[in-house]
Amino acid sequence: MTSTRMPVIPNTPTEIEASPEQRVAQLANLPEVHQAFNWFRASEPRLRRWQIEMARVPAPPFGETARGVWLAERFRELGLNEVHIDEVGNVLGVHPGETPAGEPAAYVSVSAHIDTVFPANTALDIREEGSKLLGPGVSDNGAGLTALLGIAAALQATAIHPRCPVLFIGNVGEEGEGDLRGMRHIFAQPRWLDSIGYSVILDGAGTDVIIAEALGSRRFEVTVHGPGGHSWSDFGVPNPIVALARAIEIFSRTPIPNNPKCSTNIGVIRGGTSVNSIPEAASMRVDIRSASAKEVDRLEAALRSAIALAIESEQENSRDGAGECPFSAEIVTIGNRPAGELPADAHILRVIRAVDKHLDNAAQVQRASTDANIPLSLGRQAIALGGGGRGGGAHTLQEWFDCSGRELGMRRILLAVLALTGVHE
């Protein structure tokens, strides 16, 4: 995924001369922007209703179709242009800009993932308790998707005229083994790769975090195959589970630095049919994470070496000796999220810091694995923000979202987007 040019967001001379702090203050004083702020406050019941409806529509991994259809209907109701669902299930719609004739259309994208971690048969019991919404997926990413709709609705309902078009995306495949496939697809399309100048990703709740650093991760499924047999009559045949255990023990001795921070995890082990059977196969799933791509490569090499040593050791210790029966390991990459980070002086980072300063909002730059990994790994300017309010219990059936404070998050997102697009006053 490479591009021959970097998209450039056109700006007026006034915007070029103004600092991000000055520009944000100018925007916040516009009557049209105040109208949008008032819309956020008055429309909280509508936002809450959207969030409940959305969370009740299943969106399991690789099964986001129903929620995508729901979101596309909302995009059309709001009057967005070019609403469609692409080949992988991403939902797209455009709020038009007023780019001067002759200048290339450069977009600011605002996205939120529509998938959840919950399997298709999960009971989506979404309920209200005071200012709280409770149920699986109500915050991650119900909060982000609701904020996405809120920004689109406010732009359509007011006289704000962005200079650059805003591309709204509800993308698939952010969670787990989805491996960011929705965002990968967006940036693999020449139209979007060559025209998205800035990406604002909305993920979960809150206003206290700016994700500007992408945590790299690589995931593997390791399967050891053997001849299998009876635990008594075939004793001594190489055992895939024993080989996996040896590999885990060897891999666990790999040095893990604190700077850059790294982690490894054996998350799943499967194999065997009965207590008195030597298994024909056994598998494990391994997660490697680091802020450094070089460290991810080093840890992958250590994993592969541990598996090779374990296979060799189990063969040598077997009754029949090495090479006299089929015994092998297969390593399949099931996830690969690239690392990356914004330069400290990146314009989008200066903008969100100026917005937080104007709103007297305390937020810290953090590193995480989000949809922002894709544009950041390509050297593009991207940040991930919460959708406001507060949330907890993510990825559990006890997930919750408190709508109190959502308005601050909406103001924050709107000001950041408008500072990036520019506005005709």
The reply to whether 21 and 157 lie within a common domain is yes
The reply to whether 153 and 273 lie within a common domain is no
pLDDT band at 424 (very low <50, low <70, confident <90, very high): confident
Answer whether 400's CB lies under 8 Å from 139's CB. Answer: yes
* pLDDT at residue 143 is higher than 60: yes
The reply to whether 277 and 412 lie within a common domain is no
Paired with 218 in beta bridges are 288, 336
Burial of 304 (0-12, 13-18, 19+ CB in 10 A): middle
Give the pLDDT mean for 138-154.
98
Assess if residue 164 is contained within a domain: yes
* pLDDT at residue 3 is higher than 60: no
Give the pLDDT mean for 118-131.
95
Question: C-alpha dihedral over 25, 30, 31, 37, to 10 degrees?
Answer: -50
As a whole number, the mean pLDDT across the chain is 93
End of a domain among 306, 337, 368? 337
Assess if residue 3 is contained within a domain: no
CA distance 378 to 376: 5
CA distance 3 to 187: 10
pLDDT of residue 291: 85
* pLDDT at residue 1 is higher than 80: no
Answer whether 271's CB lies under 8 Å from 282's CB. Answer: yes
* pLDDT at residue 15 is higher than 80: no
Assess if residue 5 is contained within a domain: no
Alpha helix ranges (H) inside 361-405? 373-377
pLDDT of residue 9: 63
Give the pLDDT mean for 33-61.
98
pLDDT tens for residues 175-203?
988 999 999 999 999 999 999 999 999 99
Domain harbouring 199, CATH code:
3.40.630.10
pLDDT tens for residues 361-377?
999 999 999 999 999 99
Burial of 405 (0-12, 13-18, 19+ CB in 10 A): middle
Give the pLDDT mean for 215-229.
96
Q: State yes or no: cis peptide before 141, omega within 30 of 0.
A: yes
Which of 202, 158, 208, 157 is CA-nearest to residue 51?
A: 202
Assess if residue 382 is contained within a domain: yes
Answer whether 386's CB lies under 8 Å from 334's CB. Answer: no
CA distance 318 to 84: 59
The reply to whether 208 and 227 lie within a common domain is no
Assess if residue 124 is contained within a domain: yes
Percent of the chain with pLDDT over 90: 88
The reply to whether 19 and 163 lie within a common domain is yes
The reply to whether 43 and 177 lie within a common domain is yes
CA 12, 407, 210, 299 torsion: positive or negative? negative
* pLDDT at residue 71 is higher than 90: yes
Which of 173, 139, 150, 178 is CA-nearest to residue 68?
A: 173
The more confident residue out of 81 and 321 is 81
The reply to whether 99 and 142 lie within a common domain is yes
The two tokens of residue 3 are: 């591009």
Specify the amino acid at residue 23. R
The more confident residue out of 76 and 17 is 76
* pLDDT at residue 136 is higher than 90: yes
The reply to whether 167 and 191 lie within a common domain is yes
End of a domain among 337, 356, 373? 337
Window from 87-101, 139-153, 310-324, 326-340 with minimum mean pLDDT: 310-324
pLDDT band at 214 (very low <50, low <70, confident <90, very high): very high
pLDDT of residue 322: 44
The reply to whether 293 and 344 lie within a common domain is no
CA distance 194 to 391: 35
Length of the chain: 425
pLDDT of residue 293: 87
Assess if residue 188 is contained within a domain: yes
State how many domains the chain has.
Answer: 2
pTM: 0.89
Assess if residue 274 is contained within a domain: yes
The reply to whether 416 and 354 lie within a common domain is yes
Domain harbouring 314, CATH code:
3.30.70.360
End of a domain among 298, 320, 337? 337
* pLDDT at residue 12 is higher than 60: no
Assess if residue 222 is contained within a domain: yes
Give the pLDDT mean for 305-334.
84
The reply to whether 318 and 371 lie within a common domain is no
Answer whether 171's CB lies under 8 Å from 90's CB. Answer: yes
* pLDDT at residue 2 is higher than 50: no
Q: Crossing angle for the helix pair 65-77 and 142-157, nearest 10 degrees?
A: 20
Long-range pairs, 351-354, Cβ under 8 A, ≥24: 351/20, 351/23, 351/24, 351/416, 351/419, 351/420, 352/210, 352/383, 352/385, 352/412, 352/416, 353/20, 353/210, 354/19, 354/20, 354/21, 354/23, 354/24, 354/419
Domain hosting residue 144, numbered range: 13-214+340-421
The reply to whether 193 and 244 lie within a common domain is no
